[in-house]
């Protein structure tokens, strides 16, 4: 290959993915396949997975509780080390913090319990800087996280992208990059497009 991007290796980051990230197929695939490549270690909680599948039930009358439970079990079977149970200590720590939405405390408690270095979410306004600094976890949108991974681990992320494309019938490099743009991961899309042209 010519024009190969330089790989910048660093410690694997433990990433807690929020429900709004896991609900998006393209974002979810990018993250879990990056985990398969050893670029990150992915984490979630049962409550987060439940929130991620709720829109599927709301938008599809045939997607019932049994199918939702099956999907969650399939997630955890594929990634047996991903699910974390928020500890009582983590809950107490998070309960002391000022947060605008009480419903997001379980997400931060899961991140603390997972010893995550990154909390990946689109709801950045619900996790104030003071709260995140208090628990020592970096708050990143999917676009910022993925674009950083493309820059630091180009070959691993390129392989993850190829798996993402191969896992969906009819998908192409172009359609997958377009899907990233639709979910506002525009910086990631630009970087991936440039990376693939160098391959």
Does residue 12 register a pLDDT over 90?
A: no
> pLDDT, tens digit, for every residue of 33-61?
999 999 999 999 999 999 988 877 666 65
Q: Which of 5, 49, 15, 7 is nearest to 145 (CA)?
A: 15
Number of CB atoms found within 10 A of residue 146's CB: 27
Measured over the CA atoms of residue 156, residue 83, residue 183 and residue 163, the dihedral's sign is positive
Residue with tokens 């107490």: 92
Q: List Cβ neighbours of 185 (8 Å cut-off, separation of 6 or more).
A: 26, 27, 142, 143, 146, 147
pLDDT at 75: 85
pLDDT bucket at 3, cuts 50 / 70 / 90: very low
pLDDT at 65: 74
Does residue 66 register a pLDDT over 80?
A: no
**Residue 196 Cα to chain centre, angstroms:** 22
Distance CA 165, CA 130 (A): 38
- Calculate the dihedral angle through the C-alpha atoms of 198, 155, 145, 176, rounding to the nearest 10 degrees: 60
């Amino acid at each position: 290959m010519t024009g190969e991007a330089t790989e910048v290796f660093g410690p694997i980051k433990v990433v807690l993915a929020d429900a709004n990230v896991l609900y998006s197929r393209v974002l979810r695939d990018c993250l879990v396949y990056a985990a398969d490549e050893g670029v990150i270690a992915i984490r979630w909680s049962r409550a987060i997975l439940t929130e991620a599948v709720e829109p599927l039930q709301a938008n599809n009358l045939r997607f019932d509780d049994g199918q939702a439970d099956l999907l969650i079990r399939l997630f955890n079977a594929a990634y047996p080390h991903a699910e974390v149970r928020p500890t009582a200590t983590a809950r107490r720590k998070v309960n002391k913090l000022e947060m605008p939405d009480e419903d997001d405390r379980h997400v931060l408690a899961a991140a603390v319990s997972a010893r995550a270095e990154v909390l990946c979410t689109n709801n950045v306004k619900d996790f104030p800087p003071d709260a995140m600094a208090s628990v020592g976890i970096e708050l990143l949108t999917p676009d910022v996280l993925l674009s950083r991974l493309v820059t630091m681990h180009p070959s691993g992320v390129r392989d993850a992208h190829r798996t993402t494309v191969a896992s969906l019938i009819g998908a192409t490099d172009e359609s997958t990059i377009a899907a990233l743009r639709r979910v506002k991961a525009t910086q990631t899309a630009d970087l991936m497009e440039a990376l693939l042209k160098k391959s």
